[in-house]
Amino acid sequence: MVNQENPMMKYTELEHIGSGGFGHVVRALNNATGGEVAIKKINLQGLGRKELTVNEIVIMKRYRSSSVVNYLDSYLLGEELWLVMEYMDGGALSDVIHKTCLSEDHIAAISRECLQGLDFLHSNDVIHRDVKSDNILLRTDGSVKLTDFGLSTQLTPEQSRPCLVAGTPWWMAPEVVTGQPYGPKVDIWSFGIVGVEMLEKEPPYWDQSHTSARRLIATVGTPKLRQPKLLSALLRDFLSCCLQTDEERRWSAKELLQHPFVRFAEPASSLVPLIVSVKKRKETRM
């Protein structure tokens, strides 16, 4: 499962670029190639942590796509696992959301790239289960990729409709928060909430506790947009297709890729000026 070499001999750490409940992420240099990588250092102590990490490695090794952050290698140092991945130099979508205003053209291009990733996962019977702006990474060439598969699940004939409550509360689909059996379309609801984030800078109920947010998702249903009249009919319809409370009526990733809002989106390269400007602004403030 892991490389037995000492990664400290292979990589030189450059800077800390992120952290979470799992541990932290650093930017590093591959000493042999001179290429940059991201190393996710996961603390394996704690119930269930090893299982989640093994799950993440298996899914990243098995499924490679231009829409998913590439797995490169993994190492075990005591109770810390190093997961080496391609470095996405544009940072997370959440950074872009908080530092600039996205146009509908930007939202359409980002949506298409993310839906291609979700369609790839779902066609391989994988549910991501933690789609949110923090887990969508960008590169300064315009690439948009899904990352963080720690909560992902591989569907099997025996387990085709899981009911484990997993994910980050504000992005969870109604069927997840109520403990109902669910399928891949939970990721579509979560991506619909990312769409709301791209418009309003935060998901619905962000000011509520985990418990209150889950209760509101279960009882309110499709969240209301703050200023729907400022949006095009196409964008409103696209979000509506993502945020149907009835899983049967919610569109799949494949169907959403044919939605006019996404189908006529600009190429990913159109995102370059946006991503580069946000990166420069961030570097200036550091």
- pLDDT tens digits for 20-36? 777 899 999 999 999 99
Q: Is residue 283 part of a domain?
A: no
Domain check: are 216 and 133 in the same one? yes
Is residue 42 within 8 A of residue 60, CB to CB? The reply is no
Q: Is residue 285 part of a domain?
A: no
Q: Is the pLDDT of residue 286 over 80?
A: no
Q: Is residue 2 part of a domain?
A: no
| Last-in-domain residue among 41, 57, 86 | 86
Is residue 239 within 8 A of residue 251, CB to CB? The reply is no
| Marked catalytic residue, from 95, 119, 130, 148 | 130
Tally DSSP H helices, then E strands, for the chain. 11, 10
Is residue 192 within 8 A of residue 239, CB to CB? The reply is yes
Integer CA distances (angstroms), 182 to 159, 193, 227, in order: 11, 17, 31
Domain check: are 69 and 127 in the same one? no
Q: What is the pLDDT of residue 46?
A: 67
> What average pLDDT does the chain have?
93
Q: What is the pLDDT of residue 222?
A: 95
**Residue 65: count of CB within 10 angstroms of its CB:** 15
241 contacts: CB under 8 Å, gap ≥ 6: 250, 251, 255, 256, 259
- If you compute the radius of gyration of the chain from its CA atoms, what whole number of angstroms results? 19
Percentage above 90 pLDDT, the chain = 80
Domain harbouring 226, CATH code: 1.10.510.10
DSSP type of residue 86: E
Domain check: are 129 and 236 in the same one? yes
Total number of domains constituting the chain: 2
Q: Is the pLDDT of residue 43 over 90?
A: no
pLDDT, tens digit, 9 for 90 and up, residues 58-114 = 899 999 999 999 999 999 988 889 999 999 999 999 999 999 999 999 999 999 999
- Answer yes or no: 119 catalytic: no
Q: Is the pLDDT of residue 48 over 70?
A: no
pLDDT, tens digit, 9 for 90 and up, residues 119-136 = 999 999 999 999 999 999
Residue-range definition of the domain harbouring residue 105: 91-277
Dihedral angle computed from the Cα positions of residues 11, 15, 17 and 23, in that order, rounded to the nearest 10 degrees: 60
Domain check: are 80 and 97 in the same one? no
Q: What is the pLDDT of residue 243?
A: 98
Q: How confident is the model at residue 44 (pLDDT cuts 50, 70, 90)?
A: confident
- CA nearest to 126, candidates 179, 73, 181, 55: 55
Domain harbouring 39, CATH code: 3.30.200.20
Is residue 107 within 8 A of residue 198, CB to CB? The reply is yes
Mean pLDDT of 195-217: 97
Q: How confident is the model at residue 176 (pLDDT cuts 50, 70, 90)?
A: very high
Mean pLDDT of 5-12: 94
Q: What is the pLDDT of residue 22?
A: 75
| Last-in-domain residue among 86, 103, 137 | 86
Lowest-pLDDT range, 12-21, 43-52, 137-146, 162-171?
A: 43-52
